[in-house]
Amino acid sequence: MNLFNRSISNFANQKRSVGANGTLWPLFSLMGSGASTKAGKKINPNSSLKISAFWCGVNTIADSIALLPKHIHNEDGNKKRLLSGHPVGYLIHKEPNKCMTAFNFWFTFSVCAIVKGKAFARIVRNSAGEVLELILLHPEDVTVYRKENVLWYKVRGEKTYLFSDEIFHVTGFSWDGVKGIGVVQYAADSMSISLEADIYAADAYGDRGVSYGVIETDTTGITGQGKKALQKVFSHQLDSSDKHRVSVLDEGMKYKRIALSPQEAQFIEAKAQGVEDIARWLKIPLHKLHAKGEGGYNFLVQMSIEYLQTAVMPLAERIKEEIERKLLSPAEKAQGNVVFINYRKLLEADPKARAQYYKDLWFIRAINSNEIRKLEDMEPYEGGDDFLQPANMLSELQLKKQLTDGE
């Protein structure tokens, strides 16, 4: 047992005033994250993902987080340079561990953060304290403890506690900054309605439009046994898988439907309202859920920018801050090393706006031609590193110098 594990073991065995029995109390439980709803359904992360709009929204946000390039930069005053050989940069951008690519890692990590409200990964270091791997942990396998404003982590199946520096931890919505609460916990009621609408539709299609009803007749004297026999024959005929099934009623008998039709139950409206509710819960524009009703090029471009600002950037910034806090050493942070996330990657779908953006930066000499080509994954060309000066953009001093030189 190494020094760290011995210290944790000693810490865990000491008398504490946190609990009545002298043990560490878990800050929260990660099990059973479902919520009982007024709609009568037990909504949990698994059942909620059966709703197509919720599945689409979670996948869209997680894909966006995974797509974002993540690098380590060094900032020295106004100078910024990419540290391409930094080991942490390789982990977060290429290969966090031997089992996963960076895209798969950040996609799964983001799904946990969105649906469960918390995501965890074990930080593996060498004897020098350098980060070697990030091992993804299932949220239900991790319990968080707090002692004197210090967080400790317990992984299911392991005997020792892990210190905060050994766990990469990002939360979603939270009341205390530590206990993350998944969106399903609060969205359960509205999502249950959507799930019930899906189940209702499946039942309606499965019954081929035939639902509950009664048989009316003017004939009197039908005994209890006769009613049961009639019910059995009629139900058997309706349960038949034969698409040409036909039931013939005796003279004077009529079948009367007593269930609401999908139109009467405003089925279509309920489905549409459910999609809009999910869009609000995930802070995502409707067109990202492939919902009808939004259109227009300029409108969709603006909504894509809003999607980036409201749904993607908050989670990406939490990830960025945790990388800087846990994976970069104090010495590196003092030297100006920071995490850079390139959000422009998600705006590349609009070539017109991107071209205008580059043009504006080039015009004010904030960027040169080769830097633009690098951003577009193009080879540099000779002379492209020069910052060109438009002829109509001269300062007063430059203008006077040109007039003097021309005399």
Query: Each residue of 88-111: pLDDT tens digit?
Result: 999 999 999 999 999 999 999 999
Q: How far is CA 397 from CA 363, 388, 389, 392, 406, in A?
A: 19, 17, 14, 14, 14
**Nearest CA to 185 among 199, 200, 175?**
175
Portion of the chain with pLDDT greater than 90, in percent = 32
296: alpha, beta or left, given left = phi > 0 and alpha = psi -120 to 50?
left
Q: Torsions phi, psi of 197, nearest 5? A: -65, -40
- More confident: 236 or 346: 346
CA distance 112 to 105: 11
pLDDT at 82: 87
According to the model, what pLDDT value does residue 371 have? 83
Q: How far is CA 47 from the centre of its chain?
A: 16
> Which has the minimum average pLDDT: 106-120, 184-198, 258-272?
258-272
Of residues 297 and 334, more confidence is placed in 334
CA distances from 154 to 24, 163, 271 (A): 11, 9, 41
pLDDT bracket for residue 402 (50, 70, 90): low
Taking CA atoms, 267 is separated from 10, 159, 250, 375, in Å, by 61, 52, 34, 48
Q: Structure tokens of 226? A: 């006769």
Indicate if the pLDDT at residue 255 is higher than 50.
yes
pLDDT of the residue at 53? 85
Whether residue 343 contacts residue 70, with contact meaning beta carbons closer than 8 Å, is answered with no
Q: Which of 137-146, 172-181, 316-325, 366-375 has the lowest mean pLDDT?
A: 366-375
Q: Which residue has the higher pLDDT, 84 or 318?
A: 318
- In this structure, are residues 347 and 308 in contact, taking their beta carbons and an 8 Å threshold? yes
Q: Is the pLDDT of residue 389 over 50?
A: yes
Strand partners, 181: 173
Q: Which structure tokens are listed for 59? A: 């996948």
Report the first-to-last Cα separation within the chain, whole angstroms. Answer: 84
Q: Residues of the chain with pLDDT > 70: what percent? A: 61
H or E stretch covering 10: helix 3-13
Residue 22 has pLDDT above 50, yes or no: no
Q: Which amino acid is at 383?
A: G
Dihedral sign computed on CA atoms, order 45, 39, 50, 207: positive
81 CB-near residues (< 8 Å, 6+ apart): 73, 74
Collapsing DSSP to helix, strand or coil, 60 comes out as: helix
User: Which of 319, 379, 366, 306 is CA-nearest to residue 69?
Assistant: 319
**Cα Rg of the chain (Å, integer):** 31
Reduce the DSSP state of residue 340 to 3 states and report it.
strand
Tell me which H or E stretch contains 401.
helix 396-405
User: Is 67's pLDDT higher than 50?
Assistant: yes
Res. 40: pLDDT tops 80 = no
The per-residue pLDDT for 250 is 60
Backbone angles phi, psi at 4, to 5 degrees: -65, -50
Q: Supply the mean pLDDT for the chain.
A: 76
Give the mean model confidence (pLDDT) for residues 175-187.
84
Is pLDDT of 354 > 80? no
Specify whether the CB–CB gap between 187 and 278 falls below 8 A.
yes
Please say whether the beta carbons of 173 and 180 come within 8 A.
Answer: yes
Read off the pLDDT band of 16 (50, 70, 90). very low
- Whole-number pLDDT of residue 47: 74
Q: Looking at this protein, which amino acid is placed at residue 348?
A: E
Secondary structure of residue 7 in the 3-state scheme: helix
* 99-103, 125-129, 306-310, 381-385: range with highest mean pLDDT: 99-103
CA dist 241 and 210 (Å) reads 13
For residues 176 and 187, the answer to whether their CB atoms sit within 8 Å is: no
